[in-house]
Amino acid sequence: MPAGGEPAPPRGGEMNESTVVIVGAGPCGLATAVELARRGIRVTVLEAADATADGTRAILLWPYSLDLLDGLGLRTEADRRGVPISSLVCHTAPGTARRVPLGPFDAPLVLPQQETVALLKQELSEQGGTIEYGVRVTGLTDGPDAVTVTARRADGSPAGWRASWLVGADGVGSTVRRHLGIDFSGIPVSETFLIAEGGLLGEFDTSAVHYHMARAGLMLLSPLPGDQVRISGALADGHGPVTPESAQRMLDERGPGGLRLTDVRQARSFTSQERVAATFRSGRCFLVGDAAHVHTPSGGQGLNLGLADVRNLTWKLAGVIDGSLDPVILDTYDAERRPAAQQVVRATSRLTKSATLGPAAWRVRNLAMAAAHRTGGLARFLVPVLSGRRVHYPNTLGLAGPERTRSKGLPRPGSRDPGWPLVHGPGTAGRFQLVSMGPADGRMYRQAGKFAGGEPLVAHSHRITRGSGYVLLRPDGFVGAAGLEADFPRAAQAFARAPWHSAGHI
């Protein structure tokens, strides 16, 4: 069915109603559903499979993804189920371990994907959201006022949904993307990767993710919950079938020695691609996660990139639905997230190429790695890339303050800054957070309080400091604006007059 024209109900089937239909019940689809449902929005998730895919799959959640779980009230349980990581360790030579400590703003949590999915499914159920399993989308019509989805249930019966908005979270082979006619250009990655999981005998630091940079190739060794481990790495050309024995050979050839895999529960190979959709939005339809982008597994970025899509989209979509934001703000989703995805694809491509070098280049890389560790370069450059702190949004909301404030110790607009985290709590979802700075009852405090008091989109807090200024955090945690006290009147005016600001609040 075309992506435009008049909607048509499925012949002989029921037509269901929902405010938002989400196609795909993986972690990105479920996170989208939960974020919207907790704002009181009616959501329906359609999943072609009979159940959400099981298995560890993506295992590394970096802090920005963990902050999403925190905002949903799921962080404590995630921490209980996962393995905290406090450092990265690069092994560039036998007996050489170059440890990079990770602070709280950069430290990830190892949490197998099925655990992330289980947490989100439970929360969605508590929020009243619906998951329809065994429903395969066969077409969609993106009309001026609604999206109509036609589908077929597992028993062959037709079904349909009419919704105000649709989110495609249905993976690399996205049916939604195909029906919208959105190009998914890119290239296949030439390397084939091994992944194996099981128990491990031998000395192993479970507080770190280990990168073994051996002559035979790079191997990642990561802890998993339940005293399990994962090993992964690019296979050599001409490799045979992947078996527990071939996984052990990789561990012997690239690892530190003295380690043995036991009770291997999976050993398989996989290939990857590097692709980014030509647009992440078409009319009333959006793409998130692997439906929008895919890249190599280096650095554990995939799920985190998708959850960042979710955080960017859901506060905007929820605001449009409840009338607090003008629909023009939805144009910023593609403008912000597609460049971010392209940046991550380039970064993971470079990491993969550096991990699959020949013998001569391998030696140069490891020497460079050692030098970077001595000078602190690994901590300054690699860690922010892996944790997502290198992502920077353009001034799409029109709120950024003057550049001169960057010399005053204020965060850069469009960035995420460890010194300026979102505060989660009642009444904060979907709201900007204005943090004023200065004396306890100074002019900056009073100006900010008066502004927030008349602005339902903004929550206000204050830090007592010697200098006076402000930081405006977006609902997704990125810095929207920052400035000195003298800059605030202009910033407040820019906020109130922004094209995306609903006329009902101006």
Name the CATH architecture for the domain at 14-82+111-186+276-345: 3-Layer(bba) Sandwich (3.50)
Pairing outcome for strands 228-234 and 96-101:
unpaired
Task: Please count the helices (runs of H) and the strands (runs of E) in the chain.
Answer: 13, 23
Pairing outcome for strands 87-93 and 208-214:
parallel
Domain boundaries, the chain: 14-82+111-186+276-345, 403-505
Measured between alpha carbons, how far is residue 116 from residues 25, 226, 227, 308, 468 in Å? 12, 16, 18, 15, 41
Residue ranges of alpha helices (H) inside 187-280 are 244-254
Beta strands in 169-246 (DSSP E): 186-201, 208-214, 217-224, 228-234
CATH number of 403-505: 3.40.30
Q: How far apart are CA 33 and CA 127, in angstroms?
A: 9
Is residue 187 a contact partner of residue 194, using CB atoms and an 8 Å limit?
Answer: no
Residue ranges of alpha helices (H) inside 396-477 are 443-453
Confidence (pTM): 0.93
The set of long-range contacts for 271-274, using a CB threshold of 8 Å and a minimum separation of 24, is 271/188, 271/189, 271/191, 271/192, 271/193, 272/188, 272/189, 272/191, 272/193, 272/296, 272/297, 273/172, 273/186, 273/187, 273/188, 273/189, 274/186, 274/187, 274/188, 274/189, 274/345, 274/348, 274/349
Residue in 143, 60, 63, 152 with CA at minimum distance from that of residue 106: 63
For 92-110, write each residue's pLDDT tens digit: 877 788 899 999 889 999 9
Residue ranges of alpha helices (H) inside 127-242 are 175-180
Q: How far apart are CA 308 and CA 416, in angstroms?
A: 12
Residue 304 identity: N
pLDDT by residue, tens only, the chain of 506 residues: 445 444 455 555 689 999 999 999 999 999 999 999 999 999 999 999 998 777 788 999 999 999 999 999 999 999 999 999 999 998 887 778 889 999 988 999 999 999 999 999 999 999 999 999 999 999 999 999 999 999 999 999 999 999 999 999 999 999 999 999 999 999 988 889 999 999 999 999 999 999 998 888 889 999 999 999 999 998 988 788 999 999 999 999 999 999 999 999 999 999 889 999 999 999 999 999 999 999 988 777 889 999 999 999 999 999 999 999 999 999 999 999 999 999 999 988 887 777 666 666 767 777 777 777 777 777 888 888 888 888 999 998 988 765 555 557 899 999 998 889 999 998 899 999 999 999 999 999 999 999 999 999 999 999 999 999 999 999 999 999 999 999 999 999 999 999 999 744 43
Is residue 117 a contact partner of residue 27, using CB atoms and an 8 Å limit?
Answer: yes
Structure tokens given for 181: 């006619």
Place of tokens 């078996």: 243
Handedness of CA 89, 90, 96, 100 (dihedral sign): negative
Structure tokens given for 133: 């399993």
For 187-199, write each residue's pLDDT tens digit: 988 889 999 999 9
- Nearby residues of 447 by Cβ (< 8 Å), 6 or more positions away: 436, 485, 488, 489, 492
